[in-house]
């Protein structure tokens, strides 16, 4: 029991929670932006893989870490553009298109990686983002390790939360995006372009998703592995419902999730002898399902989610 | 501006032609990634064709690969017909396989006439229950079955590893996480000597025909289609929509479960954690290529299996990554999706931008 309390008192636990939450923060924000505009993006899992591969590859080719970030975001945007063309312009099934993007993104990234590096026994490594070392702040007790010894990508994720919150809540653009996900006809009547708003949201959201993937290869690890995304994208789709499509709650949801995941790793080492380790490995997925079930009935879905909109056809 | 208007009528030939065109187009598009590898593109296609039609063995390998895809394709097709998004066929396949090795590795024994139906039934029930869960969460709590059935895949895969290291582990397996072999009497018989093709293929063809008959000609099939086309209207017409969802979930999961049984009792003989290279997910592509028609699933499975078997052989011959197969298959899904659009709508470039007329 004392061990259990000690976990919560240790700075390494809270630092790990935030670290584990980082890719999810990017992913949930991306899903939030897409869905707020009325487009479900099940391409997320594949876009994570694309971001992880392209970001890593750019760094490996010598473009630098921030170059990698840009490349990852652009390739995510490209797949978002593709999903947008299929679902927004052509109004095709968002479910099928998203799954198609996931399959296509995953196989394209894997194929490109294998083609570029045909004969490697162990995956080549890059020099990933290092933990920040800010004078004074990083040395503070507790707060230092938890907040100021994270990598720059974690701070980028937190900045994105603030940015998305500001855009959604404080700007006319945010009002328009939310409106287009609820009532596209009204937005059209205002003289705004439903298509442009949705396309922009899907492209920007997909770029954010790709950064979630890039965090895995450029910050959490230093190499690309097949299957490394391992359902993180799908977890984001559950978390965004849990977060009622609000940026602040999205951050909370991702952090809560990171906490549980960090907790299970620590419990696993303590209880490993008694309970099979796999029980703990299942926890993130079980938790996502439970979270979804809890909020499902009162979830306030964007009203035009999944509904295509064509100009001049009411 | 581009004007999009629905077509007046959609002919049968168009709905038949689009998947074929999508399949051909995806094969042609494969030339782009192939070009990046520096391989001779013509040679690549020749190797692919040889890999499927080059010998009787190659051809039966393709049919063997198509077998689980027919089952998972049917699983997706039936669920999607009711607009129940079962994305969990991969997990349900493993549930079926686990149930098959649970009852089929010595728990009971009997003549094949009893044992084969027994392992099939066990797998069907396990797979069915695997989708019943997400369907119940949908009907009882309104939880989106896309996400729950997807996440369940990961849970089941971890559960499988736990079982293969625990209760289902073969004590004679030299420490490898694999199950004991299925008893001889529960093995699906080979169809041709010295070929791996097994009775699961015949069962898959039969199942597709049964699924077609049920969907097209029975009251139950009518209910499934009605719920899929408009759940609210179906409810209004007195159809028990939730009951239909649950029944479809059971049927869909059962089909995916049988895919697992067929692989384990027809092909591998024992269960490992890499039994399926994504047959559950590929089943979705198969179902979409088939236009959600059970008989179309047969044709689509043959195509997808040809891509996989052909690309494997090409990959061995000229050293191109075998991910090319996944790439072709995923492109065929996107192509058929786009094709469906051009079948239903006319695109017209309207020069009088914003004219509104």
The answer to whether the Cβ–Cβ distance between A96 and B288 falls below 8 Å is: yes
Query: Which pLDDT band holds residue A146 (cuts at 50, 70, 90)?
Result: confident
Adjacent-strand bridge partners of B190: B198
* pLDDT above 70: residue B351: no
Residues of B in contact with A311 (CB under 8 A): 1, 4
Query: Which pLDDT band holds residue A162 (cuts at 50, 70, 90)?
Result: very high
Whether A244 and chain B come into contact, CB under 8 Å, resolves to: no
Q: Distance between CA B81 and CA B291 in Å, rounded?
A: 10
Query: Which pLDDT band holds residue B346 (cuts at 50, 70, 90)?
Result: confident
The answer to whether the Cβ–Cβ distance between A293 and B137 falls below 8 Å is: yes
Residues of B in contact with A313 (CB under 8 A): 4
Q: Whose CA is closest to A211, among A63, A43, A64, A54?
A: A54
Which has the minimum average pLDDT: A122-131, B85-94, B236-245?
A: A122-131
Query: Which pLDDT band holds residue A118 (cuts at 50, 70, 90)?
Result: confident
- Does A52 map to a domain? yes
**Per-residue pLDDT tens digits for B19-59:** 999 999 999 999 999 999 988 999 999 999 999 999 999 99
Residues of B in contact with A115 (CB under 8 A): 33, 36-37, 320-321
Residues of A in contact with B144 (CB under 8 A): 241, 292, 296
Q: Distance between CA B275 and CA B265 in Å, rounded?
A: 11
**Per-residue pLDDT tens digits for B259-288:** 999 999 999 999 999 999 999 999 999 999
Query: How close is the nearest chain A Cα to the Cα of B356, in Å?
Result: 7
Query: How close is the nearest chain A Cα to the Cα of B257, in Å?
Result: 21
Q: What is the ipTM of this complex?
A: 0.92
Q: State residue A130's pLDDT score.
A: 87
- Does A246 map to a domain? no
Q: What's the total number of domains in chain A?
A: 1
Whether A223 and chain B come into contact, CB under 8 Å, resolves to: no
Q: What is the architecture of the domain spanning B2-348?
A: Orthogonal Bundle (1.10)
* pLDDT above 50: residue A83: yes
Q: State residue A123's pLDDT score.
A: 83
Q: State residue B8's pLDDT score.
A: 66
Whether B273 and chain A come into contact, CB under 8 Å, resolves to: no
Q: Distance between CA B177 and CA A305 in Å, rounded?
A: 44
* pLDDT above 50: residue B354: no
Residues of B in contact with A98 (CB under 8 A): none
Whether B144 and chain A come into contact, CB under 8 Å, resolves to: yes
Q: Distance between CA B36 and CA B39 in Å, rounded?
A: 8
Domain that holds residue A112: 16-117+128-230
The answer to whether the Cβ–Cβ distance between B141 and A296 falls below 8 Å is: yes
Whether A297 and chain B come into contact, CB under 8 Å, resolves to: yes
Q: What's the distance, Cα to Cα, between the start and end of chain B in Å?
A: 11
- Does A272 map to a domain? no
- Tell me phi and psi for residue B61, to 5 degrees: -60, -40
Adjacent-strand bridge partners of B348: B3
Q: Distance between CA B248 and CA B253 in Å, rounded?
A: 8
The answer to whether the Cβ–Cβ distance between B327 and A111 falls below 8 Å is: yes
The answer to whether the Cβ–Cβ distance between A110 and B326 falls below 8 Å is: yes
Instruction: Indicate the residue of A100, A101, A234 with minimum beta-carbon distance to B150.
Output: A234
Task: Tell me the average pLDDT of chain B.
Answer: 92
DSSP per-residue string spanning B112-161: HHHHHHHHHHHHHHHHHHHHHHHHHHHHHH---HHHHHHHHHHHHHHHHH
Query: How close is the nearest chain B Cα to the Cα of A16, in Å?
Result: 22
Q: Distance between CA B269 and CA A299 in Å, rounded?
A: 46
**Per-residue pLDDT tens digits for A11-29:** 888 999 999 999 999 999 9
Chain A residue with Cα closest to B326: A107
Residues of B in contact with A91 (CB under 8 A): 4, 341
In 3-state terms, chain B is what percent helix, strand and coil (to 5)? Answer: 70, 5, 25
- Of all residues in chain B, the percent with pLDDT exceeding 70 is 95
**Per-residue pLDDT tens digits for B212-237:** 999 999 999 999 999 999 999 999 99
The answer to whether the beta carbons of residues B334 and A100 sit under 8 Å apart is yes
**Per-residue pLDDT tens digits for A289-311:** 998 999 888 888 999 998 999 87
Tokens for A232? 């993180």
> What are the domain boundaries of chain B?
2-348
- Does A109 map to a domain? yes
C-alpha A77: how far from chain center: 13
Q: State residue B357's pLDDT score.
A: 37
Adjacent-strand bridge partners of A151: A131
DSSP per-residue string spanning B199-223: THHHHHHHHHHHHHHHHHHSHHHHH
**Per-residue pLDDT tens digits for A25-60:** 999 999 999 999 999 999 999 999 999 999 999 999
Given phi > 0 = left and psi -120 to 50 = alpha, else beta, which region is B346?
beta
Determine how many CB atoms are found less than 10 A away from the CB of residue A21. 26
Instruction: Indicate the residue of B37, B165, B327 with minimum beta-carbon distance to A107.
Output: B327
Q: What number is the average pLDDT over the span B82-109?
A: 95
Instruction: Indicate the residue of A241, A276, A293 with minimum beta-carbon distance to B162.
Output: A276
Determine how many CB atoms are found less than 10 A away from the CB of residue A163. 14
* pLDDT above 60: residue B356: no
Touching B: A residues 114-143, CB under 8 Å: 114-115, 118
Most A CBs within 10 Å, among B135, B323, B331, to test the A interface: B323
**Per-residue pLDDT tens digits for A235-287:** 999 999 999 999 999 999 999 989 988 888 888 777 666 777 788 888 889 98
Q: State residue A267's pLDDT score.
A: 81
* pLDDT above 90: residue A165: yes
Helix axes A194-215, A172-182, angle to 10 degrees: 100
Instruction: Indicate the residue of B137, B146, B324 with minimum beta-carbon distance to A95.
Output: B146
Q: Would you give the DSSP letter of residue B190?
A: B
- Does A269 map to a domain? no
**Per-residue pLDDT tens digits for A195-249:** 999 999 999 999 999 999 999 999 999 999 999 999 999 999 999 999 999 999 9
Q: What number is the average pLDDT over the span A184-192?
A: 93
Chain A residue with Cα closest to B30: A108
Determine how many CB atoms are found less than 10 A away from the CB of residue A244. 15
The answer to whether the Cβ–Cβ distance between B165 and A276 falls below 8 Å is: yes
Q: Distance between CA B309 and CA B37 in Å, rounded?
A: 19
Instruction: Indicate the residue of A95, A278, A288 with minimum beta-carbon distance to B161.
Output: A278
- Does A310 map to a domain? no
- Of all residues in chain B, the percent with pLDDT exceeding 90 is 82
Query: How close is the nearest chain B Cα to the Cα of A92, in Å?
Result: 7
- Does A292 map to a domain? no
Query: Which pLDDT band holds residue B10 (cuts at 50, 70, 90)?
Result: low
- Tell me phi and psi for residue B3, to 5 degrees: -100, 135
Whether A279 and chain B come into contact, CB under 8 Å, resolves to: yes
Query: Which pLDDT band holds residue B349 (cuts at 50, 70, 90)?
Result: low
Determine how many CB atoms are found less than 10 A away from the CB of residue B189. 11
The answer to whether the Cβ–Cβ distance between B337 and A93 falls below 8 Å is: yes
**Angle of CA points B322, A56, A112, to nearest 5°:** 20
Q: How far is CA B126 from CA B120, B156, B258, in A?
A: 10, 12, 9
Q: Distance between CA B248 and CA B161 in Å, rounded?
A: 28
Residues of A in contact with B162 (CB under 8 A): 276, 278-279
Whether A196 and chain B come into contact, CB under 8 Å, resolves to: no
């Amino acid at each position: 029991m004392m061990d259990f309390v000690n976990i919560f008192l240790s700075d390494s636990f809270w630092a790990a929670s935030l670290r584990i939450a980082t890719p999810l923060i990017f992913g949930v924000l991306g899903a939030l932006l897409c869905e707020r505009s009325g487009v479900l993006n099940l391409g997320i899992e594949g876009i994570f893989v694309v971001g992880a591969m392209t970001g890593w590859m750019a760094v490996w080719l010598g473009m630098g870490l921030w170059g990698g970030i840009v490349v990852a975001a652009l390739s995510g945007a490209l797949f978002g553009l593709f999903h947008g063309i299929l679902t927004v312009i052509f109004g095709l099934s968002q479910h099928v298109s998203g799954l198609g993007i996931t399959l296509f993104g995953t196989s394209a990234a894997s194929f490109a990686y294998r083609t570029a590096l045909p004969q490697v026994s162990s995956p080549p490594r890059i020099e990933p983002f290092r933990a920040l070392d800010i004078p004074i702040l990083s040395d503070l007790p507790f707060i230092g390790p938890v907040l100021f010894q994270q990598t720059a990508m974690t701070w980028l994720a937190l900045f994105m939360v603030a940015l998305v919150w500001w855009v959604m809540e404080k700007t006319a653009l945010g009002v328009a995006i939310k409106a287009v996900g609820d009532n596209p006809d009204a937005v059209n009547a205002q003289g705004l372009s439903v298509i442009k708003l949705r396309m922009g949201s899907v492209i920007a959201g997909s770029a954010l998703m790709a950064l979630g993937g890039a965090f895995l290869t450029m910050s959490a690890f230093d190499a690309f592995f097949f299957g490394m995304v391992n359902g993180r994208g799908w977890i984001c789709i559950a978390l965004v419902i849990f977060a009622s499509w609000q940026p602040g709650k999205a951050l909370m949801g991702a952090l809560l999730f990171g906490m549980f995941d960090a907790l299970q790793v620590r419990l696993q080492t303590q209880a490993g002898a008694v309970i099979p380790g796999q029980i703990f490995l299942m926890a993130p997925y079980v938790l996502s399902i439970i979270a979804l079930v809890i909020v499902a009935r009162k979830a306030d879905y964007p009203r035009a989610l999944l509904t295509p909109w064509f100009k001049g056809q009411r | 501006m581009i004007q999009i208007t629905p077509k007046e009528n959609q002919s049968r030939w168009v709905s038949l032609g689009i998947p074929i065109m999508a399949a051909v187009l995806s094969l042609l598009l494969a030339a782009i990634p192939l070009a990046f590898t520096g391989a001779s593109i013509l040679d690549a296609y020749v190797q692919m064709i040889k890999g499927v039609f080059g010998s009787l063995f190659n051809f039966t390998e393709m049919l063997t690969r198509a077998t689980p895809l027919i089952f998972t394709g049917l699983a997706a097709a039936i669920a999607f017909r009711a607009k129940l998004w079962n994305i969990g066929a991969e997990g349900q396949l493993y549930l079926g396989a686990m149930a098959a090795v649970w009852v089929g590795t010595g728990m009971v024994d009997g003549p094949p006439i009893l044992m084969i139906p027994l392992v099939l039934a066990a797998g069907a029930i396990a797979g069915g229950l695997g989708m019943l869960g997400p369907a119940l969460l949908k009907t009882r709590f309104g939880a989106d079955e896309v996400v729950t059935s997807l996440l369940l895949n990961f849970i089941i895969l971890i559960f499988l590893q736990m079982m293969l290291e625990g209760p289902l582990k073969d004590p004679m397996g030299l420490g490898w996480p694999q199950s004991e072999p299925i008893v001889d009497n529960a093995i699906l018989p080979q169809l041709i000597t010295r070929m791996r093709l097994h009775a699961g293929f015949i069962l898959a063809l039969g199942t597709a025909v049964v699924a077609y008959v049920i969907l097209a000609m029975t009251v139950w099939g009518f209910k499934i289609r009605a719920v899929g086309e408009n759940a609210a209207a179906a409810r209004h017409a007195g159809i028990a929509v939730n009951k239909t969802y649950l029944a479809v979930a059971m049927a869909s999961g059962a089909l995916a479960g049988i895919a697992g049984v067929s692989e384990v009792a027809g092909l591998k003989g024992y269960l490992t954690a890499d039994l399926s290279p994504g047959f559950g997910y590929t089943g979705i592509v198969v179902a979409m290529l088939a236009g959600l028609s059970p008989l179309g699933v047969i044709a689509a499975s043959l195509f997808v299996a040809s891509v996989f078997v052909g690309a494997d052989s090409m990959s061995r011959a000229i050293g191109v990554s075998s991910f090319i197969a996944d790439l072709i298959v995923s492109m065929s899904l996107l192509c058929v999706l786009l094709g469906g659009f051009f079948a239903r709508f006319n695109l017209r470039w309207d020069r009088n931008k914003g004219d509104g007329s």
